[in-house]
Structures are given as C-alpha cells and as structure tokens.
Amino acid sequence: MDINKLRKIIDGIDDEILRLLNGRVDIAREIGKMKSAGKKDIWVPQREKNILKRLLKKNRGNLKDKDLVEIFQNILNVSRSMQKNPGIAYLGPEATFTHLAAIKSFGKNCNFIPVKTISDVFCEVSKGRVDYGVVPVENSTEGVVSYTLDMFVESELKICSESLLKVSHNLLSRQKDCRKINRVYSHPQAIAQCRNWIEENLQNAKIVEVASTAEAASCAGKQPESAAIASTLAAQLYKLNIVAAGIEDNIQNYTRFLVIGKKYGKRSGDDKTSILFSLKDRVGALHGMLAPFSANRINLTKVESRPSKKKAWDYIFFVDFAGHVDDANVKKALKGLEKECVMLEVLGSYPRSEQI
C-alpha cells in the first residue's frame, strides 16, 4: 500500500474522530444544562479522574499512556468549557508557575483571574467572585508554603483537587549570550533552586529578588543586559530568548498546588484527605494522634505543624493521608483522633494527583 492510500485511510479516521468529538460535545452540553438546573458543580474532578483511569486500563495499542492522558484531558477541558466557563483565581501575575498549574487543572478556556497574594485567592473564592482558586502548597526542594497552610486556619474553604507540576527554570533574556548578562531577576525560591547553576555560569551578575518569576521576565524585557529565571510561558509572553533551559539544580523539582472551592467532592477510588487539628496539652498527645491511623491501616503522606498564633508554643497540625473521608476506615480513624483533639477540621477529600 503506497503513502497516498495510507493518508486517505488517516483522513477517513480523522473524519470519524471529528464526528465523534462533536457528538461528545453535544452530550456534554446537555449534561451542563442538567447540572445548571440542579445547581450542581460543572467541574467534577473525581469523574474526570475515573474517565482517564478507565481509558488507561483499556489502552492496548501503541499510544503511550502519557499521550493518551494529554489528549483526553484536552477533550475533557473543552467539553467542560461548553457547559460553563468557570472563573479561576490564581497567584499571579500571568505566566507564573501557579498560572501554569491552573491551566493544567482546568485547560486554557477558563476565565483566569491573576491576584497579588495567596490571601487574595482565598478572598475571591470566599466572596463568590470566582468558582475556584489555585495556590501553591509545597515544593520538593524548598518545602511547604507556610502562608497557604495558615490561610486554611482562617478560612472555611475546602480542597477540591491537587496538582503536581514539574518546575523547570530557564534563563530568559533579550540577549543570546550568557556573558553579556550583568543582572538576573527572579523570585527567591527560583533563585534558590538554581543557585549552583548561577554560581557556575553567572559569577559576575547581580541577583535581584522580585515578587514573581513573571515580574522577573517583565524586568528582563525592559533591560537589554539583564535576564530572568522563569518559565517558557514567560519567554513567549515577554518575547525573550531562552538563553539556557532547565537550569534548576535538582531535575526532580516539583511543586504541589491545591485547587480550593466551597466544597469537596465524592470518592474517586484513589483519594487523599487533608485535615488540620490542635491537640490537648498532655503527655503522649502526639502518639495518641498517630494511633488511630495506624490501627485503621491508613498511610500518612504528610505531617506538618504551624504555630497557632494564639499563644506561645501552641501548634496546629496539618496532615495528609491516603483515603476519602467517606471511607469506613477513615471515619473510624477520625472518630478516634477527635478524642485527642481540641479542634479537628477536614480540609478536603480529593483525587490524588499522578505519582512521581
């Protein structure tokens, strides 16, 4: 069979894919109308996760799993946008890694609202000016984002979803030669994550800390002998050259982001739950906190403490663990934990992100 005949076969397959995609979108719009009439959420992350999980199990061809997920995630995003174009607040400005995480979670067709602080993200969602918010919570190199954890103490918002984003830093500039750069702008965390590379390649450059990697790109765009450490999206937005790509010291550099809203969803079958609590001041209190999880065979994935800010040496604990709050063993564990606590709050149960 010659190449022209093969191409005709592909054209026929493409026509069929187009017909099926339009049919899928039409059904999605009908579902959107039903959701709207019943005042149900347009975005159902556990449903989307189960769709992808089902398709991955059925994938027996040459299509790689990661490519299948990318294709169908785009289909899900487009189908959702036909139902409603949700408003998403994120820690801005445009082209930050939080912006990239928001696009990863919701697709490109949403109404993205950049705000200046993490507090502003919580405020926009709480007041109903947007449907969801996206905030960073921890980095695999630099640790937790303390301010995000602190905001959950004050807020009634819930965690609806999580997303892991591989953070790859690039040196961006109007220049094309590293040797002509005398000043480098970036966010303190990005600078810290690229410190070895900077010391080896930009020994004579002045390092300037700014509020975000996007602001750094903006500064570099205005000064011909300066550069920024930022994302490839920032390079596109501010029309900068990528002088050096992937300059982070640790290639396993991931940031975890949370999607926050007014309620969390039902079980997907592969979930994580986040809680916060404060313990009674007595000997063995921390051991008593761990016992209900061990007894119910629940895997703790993170334990973090923060000062309560109410009195000295008084702490609030944040814990992530595998399972959903509606699971029988989780209910038993939380009931046992509650006996040890002054305060206990479930921040959310949500589909677990892809594993690294």
- Residues spanned by the domain of 274: 266-351
pTM for this entry: 0.88
Tell whether 301 and 327 lie within a shared domain: yes
CATH of the domain at 237: 3.40.190.10
pLDDT mean over 121-132: 96
Cα–Cα distance for residue pair 77/155, rounded to 1 Å:
28
Active site residue 122: no
pLDDT for 356? 52
Which of 106, 122, 257, 277 is an active site residue?
Answer: 257
Mean pLDDT of the chain: 92
Closest CA to 82 of 39, 40, 132, 22: 22
Share of residues in the chain with pLDDT > 70 (%): 97
**DSSP string of 1-63, one letter each residue:** --HHHHHHHHHHHHHHHHHHHHHHHHHHHHHHHHHHHTT--S--HHHHHHHHHHHHHH--SSS
How many helices and strands (H and E) does the chain possess? 12, 15
pLDDT mean over 4-31: 96
- Asked which of 83, 117, 147 is the last residue of a domain, the reply is 83
CATH of the domain at 336: 3.30.70.260
Active site residue 255: yes
Tell whether 18 and 59 lie within a shared domain: yes
pLDDT-derived band at 313 (thresholds 50, 70, 90) equals low
pLDDT for 311? 65
pLDDT mean over 308-334: 87
Structural domain count, the chain: 4
pLDDT for 305? 87
pLDDT tens digits, one per residue of 228-275: 999 999 999 999 999 999 999 988 889 999 999 999 989 999 999 999
Tell whether 163 and 176 lie within a shared domain: no
pLDDT for 140? 86
Which of 213, 255, 293, 318 is an active site residue?
Answer: 255
- 256 forms beta bridges with 138, 164
The answer to whether position 146 is within a domain reads yes
pLDDT tens digits, one per residue of 154-204: 899 999 999 999 989 999 999 998 889 999 999 998 999 999 999 999 988
Beta strands 271-279; 341-351: pairing state: antiparallel
Reported residue count of the chain is: 356
pLDDT-derived band at 300 (thresholds 50, 70, 90) equals very high
**Comparing 283 with 340, which gets the higher pLDDT?**
340
- Answer yes or no: are the C-beta atoms of 316 and 277 closer than 8 Å: yes
CATH of the domain at 36: 1.20.59.10
**Beta strands, E only, the chain:** 87-91, 111-115, 132-139, 143-144, 158-166, 170-173, 183-186, 206-209, 226-230, 241-245, 254-261, 271-279, 300-307, 315-322, 341-351
